[in-house]
A and B are shown apart, each in its own frame.
Chain A
Amino acid sequence: MDDKSILLVEDNPDDEALTLRALRRNNIANTVIVARDGVEALDYLFARGAHLRRDPAETPALTLLDLKLPRVDGLEVLAQIRAAPVTRLLPVVILTSSREEQDVINGYRLGANSYIRKPVDFGQFAEAVRQLGLYWLVLNETPPGGSGATR
């Protein structure tokens, strides 16, 4: 498998562990970078702060974005991703607990590629992660240029 990395933006360590477990159980072995709030996620993507020495051209193949985050929330992260040329086409899937209509609408309006609600049932959650990985990392052709596979 190509080294298509996944950026997981998640502040809840339990959810982080469960997501990673679901990925592993579905044999998705891609590198997973975890950002625990919005600032960290943006620093990683734009290669600043702790990630200053990273090559910003190496963008993740998929970003899994929670909405409720400390400091900068998920919608703001999404807005900045879509505003910057280098991340403009990055596939972003919102993965959140909220099913509030406003969140769904705002998520899509700001350019989310998908909106997935985390089910309570771990079986269902694992199935959702499996389908996500299959679709975005295997079936989906990543956009050329600023985002996608590294060379």
Chain B
Amino acid sequence: MDVTAVRPDFALLFRSAPALLLVLQPDAGFTILDATDAYLQATLTERNAILQRSVFEVFPDNPDDRNASGARHLRASLERVLVTGARDVMAVQKYDIRRPASSGGGFEERFWSPVNSPVPAADGRIRYIIHRVEDVTDYVRSSLSDAAQQEAADAAERRNRSLEREILQRSRDLDLLNANLRQINATLNAEIAERRRAENWLSELLRSAPDGIVIVDRQGRIVLASNQAESAFGYAADELIGQTVDILAPVDKERAHFAQRTAYMGTPHRRAMGEGLELMGRRKDGSLFPVEISLSPIQTQDGFWVTAIVRDVTRRKQATEHVRQLNMELHRHTVELKAANRELEAFSYSVSHDLRAPLRSIDGFSQALLEDHAGQLDPTAREHLARVRAATQRMGALIDDLLELSRVTRSELRPENVDLSGMAESLVNELRHSQPARRVETDIQPGLEAMGDPRLLHIVLSNLLSNAWKFTGTRAEAHIEFGEGTGDDGMHCFFVRDNGVGFDMAYAHKLFGAFQRLHAVSEFPGTGVGLATVQRIIHRHGGRIWVEATVDAGACFHFTLPLPTQP
């Protein structure tokens, strides 16, 4: 069954109701939404003329009546309904109505008995206000014609109204106050939570700080001590609170400490860690330990307090002592080394002079024999003397190389930018002059520079290039290359490569030791000291040297040197 089909026409019913009813919107002007026909008739109005208009606009007070209060009272009542949500019965009102212009205009005296009732919506909020009136003009005129009586009634009513207004105002004030209090409460709660967080954070800070923290008030009483401070001084938790701070100083310094902190309180200032003296702290058991203390004043309500950061430097003192001992040891070693170096120098000098002199004699007198007594010597004797001379000369070369090795170790480094390419070119030219018949193809990368001692780097290149020259001696097409490889650790990497006889990499580790030779002297002459010298020079420059070789396919020496400085 269709409900709408039987639903009554409520608008028609409302408008036809035998009562003076007005439906108002609960807005600022109390807009008229509808009215019954009876209301329109009683108030001399037309429906179309009043709908969607403010009730006060439609029904203003009579401007000729100075005491007119109808509109004011109506507004107060309607607002009460809005605040209380309850029906509001108004006292009888004199509320004159406007005569239509067709009836001559002006106002017509009327007395009304109004009741304002709220119409709440489903959610409890007031949706409409029903304003119901009864026209009591005739009754009032007949029963209350006496003006004095009227005046008395008005006065009583005014009192009532003023009382009501006051109550209303107070309840509004109360509401406002309540709202304020709620706001304040919320703020306080937030602040408390914030403080709690800050306190947690602070205590966590105190707990985890690596140094002990002690806060002392003006009288020198400990107000706060961190866990580190407690354990450093050997006290249990909270045992220090309230104690005088002087008990943390050595017994014999207690009075001095008192004097110092009293003076400090007079002129509080920041004092950084380690500033000033070697300080000692006293543990609960009386034992002492070295401390560093920094002080900073903090302003409190009770005047200046002092935060002391206490660092136990026992381990650092021990470390310092250890370093001092190591330094002494190092110094002793240095002195010993210097002495050893001086001895070595004297030895080298002696070798240079005294070991060579007999060699000269052996060689010189062998030669004298050959020259002066050639007739008395048979070919075998001459051959023997030739061997003697060869051996002495070889020993002379050996001594020279050894001296150079020792000189390379001892001499002071005088580093500068060195043109390695130019150095290699001139060395190769010298080698070509020494053996003009040899066919050697050389490939020297131009523009190579390094930072080093030019005299020592000359020895390096000289050794490496002569080796390359020497060990390619059996090659019809010898090839020697000097170039730059891939550097590491901020160093330049260079290489000297040849296609000579090479060697077995199994012996590569022996190559840089003094007197180590991988070939027979008869095959390739040499003392076996050159590469030891080269390695020592490279090491003294902070570089590395290594070699790659293949038997009968050549060798490649790689070495690193510091980068040249940019001009």
Chain A residue at minimum C-beta to C-beta distance from B395: A120
Q: Is B349 a contact of A100 with CB atoms below 8 Å?
A: yes
Q: Is A14 a contact of B364 with CB atoms below 8 Å?
A: yes
Q: Is B353 a contact of A18 with CB atoms below 8 Å?
A: no
B411 within 8 A of A: yes
For A67, the chain B residues whose CB sits under 8 A away are 353
Partner of B364, one of A18, A97, A98, A99: A18
For A12, the chain B residues whose CB sits under 8 A away are 357
Q: Is A120 a contact of B349 with CB atoms below 8 Å?
A: no
Q: Is the interface of B mostly helix, strand, loop or mixed?
A: helix
For B110, the chain A residues whose CB sits under 8 A away are none
For A121, the chain B residues whose CB sits under 8 A away are 363, 389, 393, 396
For A97, the chain B residues whose CB sits under 8 A away are 352-354, 356-357, 360
Q: Is B356 a contact of A120 with CB atoms below 8 Å?
A: yes
A144 within 8 A of B: no
For A14, the chain B residues whose CB sits under 8 A away are 357-358, 360-361, 364-365
A-B contact count (CB 8 A): 65
For the complex, what is the distance from the CA of A97 to the CA of B348, rounded to whole Å?
12
Least CB distance, B392 to chain A, in whole angstroms = 6
A55 within 8 A of B: no
Least CB distance, A119 to chain B, in whole angstroms = 8
Least CB distance, B42 to chain A, in whole angstroms = 138
Question: A101-B407, A101-B411 are known contacts. Are A125 and B364 too (CB-CB below 8 A)?
Answer: yes
Least CB distance, A111 to chain B, in whole angstroms = 22
Least CB distance, A37 to chain B, in whole angstroms = 15
For the complex, what is the distance from the CA of A98 to the CA of B358, rounded to whole Å?
14
B367 within 8 A of A: yes
For the complex, what is the distance from the CA of A17 to the CA of B360, rounded to whole Å?
11
For B359, the chain A residues whose CB sits under 8 A away are 120
Question: A14-B361, A15-B360, A15-B361 are known contacts. Are A123 and B352 too (CB-CB below 8 A)?
Answer: no
Least CB distance, A122 to chain B, in whole angstroms = 4
B403 within 8 A of A: yes
A21 within 8 A of B: yes
For the complex, what is the distance from the CA of A125 to the CA of B395, rounded to whole Å?
16
Q: Is A100 a contact of B352 with CB atoms below 8 Å?
A: yes
For the complex, what is the distance from the CA of A10 to the CA of B151, rounded to whole Å?
159
A 36-68 contacts with B by CB, 8 A = 67-68
Question: A121-B396, A122-B364, A125-B364 are known contacts. Are A15 and B352 too (CB-CB below 8 A)?
Answer: no
For the complex, what is the distance from the CA of A98 to the CA of B395, rounded to whole Å?
16
A4 within 8 A of B: no
Q: Is B349 a contact of A98 with CB atoms below 8 Å?
A: yes
Q: Is B360 a contact of A122 with CB atoms below 8 Å?
A: yes
Chain A residue at minimum C-beta to C-beta distance from B407: A101
For B353, the chain A residues whose CB sits under 8 A away are 67-68, 96-98
Chain B, 391-409, contact with A by CB distance < 8 Å: what is the 0/1 string? Answer: 0110110001001000100
B368 within 8 A of A: yes
For B366, the chain A residues whose CB sits under 8 A away are 122
For the complex, what is the distance from the CA of A19 to the CA of B199, rounded to whole Å?
99
For A122, the chain B residues whose CB sits under 8 A away are 360, 363-364, 366-368, 389
- Beyond the given A14-B358, A101-B411, A122-B366, please list 5 additional residue pairs across the A-B interface where CB-CB is below 8 A: A15-B361, A21-B368, A68-B353, A97-B354, A98-B349
| A residues apposed to B, CB below 8 Å | 12, 14-15, 17-18, 21, 67-68, 96-101, 118-123, 125
